Amino acid sequence: MAMLFRDKHGHLSRIKALLHSPRFNRVAAGSKLQVRIISSKVSKYAEHIGAINMSKWKKLDARCFGITPSMIPWHALSVLNALRHAGFDAYLVGGCVRDLLLKRIPKDFDVITSADLQKVKKQFHPRRAHIVGKKFPICIVQIKGSVVEV
């Protein structure tokens, strides 16, 4: 399901409505913002109209929402860039995106990637990347005292 914004005034009002929902937004650091609605349950509306067509999702320029690369700390950018350099897709997700949109300083940074966890761990030095969690495993990447969850 794509969120389309027609004019400058419509951007912020629709984004603010999404920020308070238990769904998440995605931001590609530096240039593109991709807003997606993700839910564990398919709504009755989605059941009514059929499957969600992801091919119509749009990528938007994050600068339209005031997000610049300088707002993202170097440790989060280095994880994103390392994964992208290795040929994987990588995006910031969750609360850090919400905080950036609200002009707050994020307390932590979460990354989603197309790489599996073993490839993420291999991408970084073994002492800096650890896979944790049984039900919802993630890879914790530590860079000079900072932590990024992948």
Between CA 122 and CA 126 the distance in angstroms is: 7
Is 78 a domain residue? yes
Q: What is the pLDDT of residues 126-145, one digit of tens each?
A: 778 888 887 888 888 888 87
Q: What is the pLDDT of residues 12-59, one digit of tens each?
A: 444 444 444 444 444 444 444 444 444 434 445 445 555 666 667 666
Is 86 a domain residue? yes
Is 71 a domain residue? yes
What CATH number does residue 56 fall under? 3.30.460
Is 3 a domain residue? no
Domain count, the chain: 1
pLDDT over 80 at 61, yes or no: no
Long-range contacts of 136-143 (CB under 8 A, 24+ apart): 141/79, 143/75, 143/78, 143/79
